[in-house]
Amino acid sequence: MIRKLTITRPDDWHLHLRDGAMLEAVLPETARDFSRAIIMPNLVPPVVTAKQAAAYRDRIMAALPEGADFAPLMTLYLTEDTDPADVAAAFNDGLITAVKLYPAGATTNSASGVKDFDRVMPVLEKMAEVGCTLCVHGEVTDPAVDIFDREAVFIDRVLAPLRRRVPELRITMEHITTKDGVDYIAASENIAGSITTHHLIINRNHILVGGIKPHYYCLPVAKRELHRVALVAAATSGDPRYFLGTDSAPHTDPNKESACGCAGVFSATNTMSCLAHVFEAENALDKLEAFASLNGPAHYRLPVNSSKITLEKQEEAVIFPSKVETGDGPVTVFDPGFPIYWRVA
């Protein structure tokens, strides 16, 4: 039985840090275990220009704990007014790593997202030319489509036609939640998928059975158990097209526990411990490094981290904080619903 595992220090390829007091409180939770993270641009107002990305990066660096070894990988929020030249210059200068596509209204702070894909084609064509990755929130927002079907419908209606129009464009289908997403990526080129910690652990029953559990509510919403099983199989397979993107998304408790609660799961604090549990259960601890530390850099054409972390399995369950206190209010930490015995040494 493996009780100690040393792997290349991981990266998080999908992270929400917010801004201000929230940023200052949650950033140390990621910087403790992760070397880099792709930072989501859906602030209010969103990060849509290179100048705004640089300013946000500076605020993140200023909020880092002293001595922390962490690099934010910035993104731009794609709008129908995005300037292709600004994107290309920001990518070529190393300021941004990717551009994020939110269909308008798909998730938190996505009102400025894309409605008419024809209007963003010049940006996407320029991105394909310079090698910049498009990170996609893969859900349609058609009110006639059931919320549990929106990822599968997005693949058929939006993603497949988009890839036919710009086949050279590198794409990350972020936080995939369905077997449809897993299978589509497995059959495609120039596309990979990030998978969150919580979607490897919860299904839609966790949200709804025995009362509504707002801290399990996220977008894309957790699906049936068959989809969770498919995600676990993909993550633990070693296939380089799948990698970790936690989508750790802090909201204060009052904003979660309300009549119209916000979507988001905050998992930065205990992600690596939860992942070790999931991979051990699948007899796949030897594949954890690929998923958390190697596949993402390969997809984004970045070097692998030189440092390491060690995970240790202990006799007693690890006690994680139930909440992170912020200047905006408490944020609840993801509860996997079972004891975790792995800790980052």
Residue pLDDT, tens place only, 261-303: 999 999 999 999 999 999 999 999 999 999 999 999 999 999 9
User: Can you name the residues that pair with 283 across neighbouring β-strands?
Assistant: none
The pLDDT of residue 40 is 98
21: number of Cβ within 10 Å: 13
User: Can you name the residues that pair with 71 across neighbouring β-strands?
Assistant: 36
- Which pair of structure tokens corresponds to residue 62? 């200023």
- Under-70 pLDDT residues of the chain: 105-106, 108-110
The pLDDT of residue 33 is 98
- Tell me how far CA of residue 294 lies from CA of 96, 147, 160, 297, in angstroms: 20, 32, 27, 6
The pLDDT of residue 185 is 98
CA distance 339 to 333: 14
Q: 125: exposed, middle or buried (C-beta count within 10 Å: 0-12, 13-18, 19+)?
A: middle
The pLDDT of residue 281 is 98
For the domain made up of 4-344, give the CATH fold: TIM Barrel (3.20.20)
Q: How do strand 133-137 and strand 36-39 relate by DSSP bridges?
A: unpaired
Domain residue extents for the chain: 4-344
Residue at token pair 């990350």: 172
The pLDDT of residue 104 is 78
**One-letter amino acid of 22:** M
Q: How do strand 36-39 and strand 12-15 relate by DSSP bridges?
A: parallel
The pLDDT of residue 103 is 84
Q: Annotated active-site positions, please? A: 247
The pLDDT of residue 109 is 61
The pLDDT of residue 110 is 66
CA distance 134 to 113: 14
Peptide bond into 41 cis (omega under 30): no
77: number of Cβ within 10 Å: 25
The pLDDT of residue 1 is 86
Which residues touch 331 (CB under 8 Å, ≥6 apart)? 22, 25, 26, 250, 251, 252, 253, 266, 323, 324, 325
pTM comes to 0.97
The pLDDT of residue 59 is 98
